[in-house]
């Protein structure tokens, strides 16, 4: 059993934790969580959790833990670490990150330098060299109050890949499109797996479908607006990494027969139109219809303004609520993300 640390982004924390656990379930990676708080998820697993972590939009990185202690003992921590997993003649560097306020005199730079030279000396038989810009191995120290976590980084996010797919970077842009990280997180909460049929029944310009296709799903989208459908097709042609189909369809009475996972962002009647329908009525009708197509035991995820209390509608329709996550977007919009089964 190895110990791992998932380092969660500070934004929308509960969403970051839920997304990670959903990805572990989707990838069928067994684990035992010790805690998830203050941007850290500490857990044990006999399997490699890198595939699950690398799907997550709200993680910074994943570390395989080498040592946990208090900052005063930083240098002694690698005493019983064997370097077995490090290959000869490779390069390494040490990076330190601090969560929250500085509680100790020691600086991040001091830790990086001292630990770097310690590792260099300790691993002399491995002929490692330091490379600060593109190392083969990155050792990371995460400082939180006086506590530190030292690990070998197994994966870290490349934000640039998300930025390239942001709504304003797509051939077709529609107001009301969710940012890419949010779209990815909602798709992840649906526990979609490679080869699944993923459905977004209010697909707009196709942001969720792009994410599900990158995750290896067959991406099926629909929207009542012909203009949205055409825009989504253009966007998917540019960004999708698999098969997709997008049809013009009213999600209250759909011609789609089956989906393994659903994630969607129905209109709030602010930037995107409900086409004359009350937001609550539209949600109710769509949820009822979705029950006829979602495979038993699988997940449906959607986002709504908190103030409409979507949980009441979910219960009324007869779905089981798995989780409910609030994310404050600005003064007048808090999104309530519902995960239902």
Ligand X SMILES: C[S@@+](CC[C@H](N)C(=O)[O-])C[C@H]1O[C@@H](n2cnc3c(N)ncnc32)[C@H](O)[C@@H]1O
Kindly state whether residue 202 participates in binding ligand X, applying the rule CB under 6 A: yes
Least separation in angstroms between CB 230 and ligand X: 12
Residue from 204, 236, 284, 325 in contact with ligand X (CB under 6 A): 204
Cβ distance 107 to 115 under 8 Å?
Answer: no
124 burial (CB, 10 Å; 0-12 / 13-18 / 19+) is exposed
Residues 6 or more apart whose Cβ sits within 8 Å of residue 315? 321
Residue from 39, 45, 78, 274 in contact with ligand X (CB under 6 A): 274
Least separation in angstroms between CB 245 and ligand X: 15
Q: How far apart are CA 239 and CA 236, in angstroms?
A: 5
Closer residue to ligand X (CB): 140 or 199: 199
Residues 6 or more apart whose Cβ sits within 8 Å of residue 109? 96
Find the binding residues for ligand X in span 160-199 (CB under 6 A): 174, 176-178, 183
Return the residue matching tokens 């329908």. Answer: 277
- Residues 308-327: x where in contact with ligand X by CB under 6 A, - otherwise, as a string: --------------------
Kindly state whether residue 135 participates in binding ligand X, applying the rule CB under 6 A: no
Count, residues near ligand X per rule CB under 6 A? 26
Q: How far apart are CA 170 and CA 162, in angstroms?
A: 12
Q: Are strands 321-330 and 300-305 parallel, antiparallel or unpaired?
A: unpaired
Find the binding residues for ligand X in span 53-72 (CB under 6 A): none
CA distances from 310 to 204, 305, 339 (A): 21, 8, 11
- Residues 206-225: x where in contact with ligand X by CB under 6 A, - otherwise, as a string: -xx--------------xxx
Chain residues in the site for ligand X (CB under 6 A): 174, 176-178, 183, 201-202, 204-205, 207-208, 223-225, 228, 250-252, 265-267, 272-275, 282
């Amino acid at each position: 059993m190895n110990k791992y640390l998932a380092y969660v982004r500070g934004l929308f924390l509960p969403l970051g934790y839920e997304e990670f656990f959903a990805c572990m379930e989707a990838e069928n990676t067994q684990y035992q969580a010790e805690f998830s708080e203050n941007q850290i998820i500490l857990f044990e697993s006999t399997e490699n959790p890198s595939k699950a972590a690398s799907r997550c939009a709200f993680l910074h990185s994943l570390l395989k833990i080498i040592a946990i202690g208090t900052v005063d003992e930083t240098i002694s921590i690698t005493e019983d670490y064997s370097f077995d997993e490090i290959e000869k003649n490779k390069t390494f560097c040490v990076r330190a990150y601090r969560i929250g306020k500085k509680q100790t005199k020691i600086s991040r730079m001091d830790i990086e330098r001292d630990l770097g030279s310690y590792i260099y000396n300790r691993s002399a038989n491995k002929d490692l060299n330091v490379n600060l810009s593109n190392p083969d191995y990155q050792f990371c120290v995460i400082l939180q109050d006086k506590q530190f976590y030292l690990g070998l980084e197994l994966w870290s996010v490349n934000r640039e890949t998300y930025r390239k797919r942001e709504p304003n970077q797509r051939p077709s842009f529609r107001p009301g499109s969710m940012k890419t990280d949010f779209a990815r997180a909602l798709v992840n909460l649906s526990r979609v797996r490679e080869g699944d049929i993923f459905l977004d029944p209010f697909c707009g310009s196709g942001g969720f479908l792009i994410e599900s296709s990158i995750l290896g799903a067959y991406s099926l989208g629909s929207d009542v607006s012909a203009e949205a459908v055409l825009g989504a097709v253009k966007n998917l042609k540019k960004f999708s990494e698999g098969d997709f189909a997008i049809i013009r369809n009213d999600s209250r009475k759909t011609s789609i027969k089956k989906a393994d996972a659903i994630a969607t962002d129905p209109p709030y009647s602010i930037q995107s139109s409900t086409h004359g329908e009350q937001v609550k009525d539209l949600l109710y009708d769509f949820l009822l219809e979705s029950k006829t197509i979602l495979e038993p035991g699988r997940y449906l995820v959607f986002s709504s303004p908190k103030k409409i209390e979507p949980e009441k509608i979910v219960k009324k329709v007869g779905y089981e609520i798995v989780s409910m996550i609030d994310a404050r977007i600005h003064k007048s919009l808090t999104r309530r993300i519902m995960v239902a089964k």
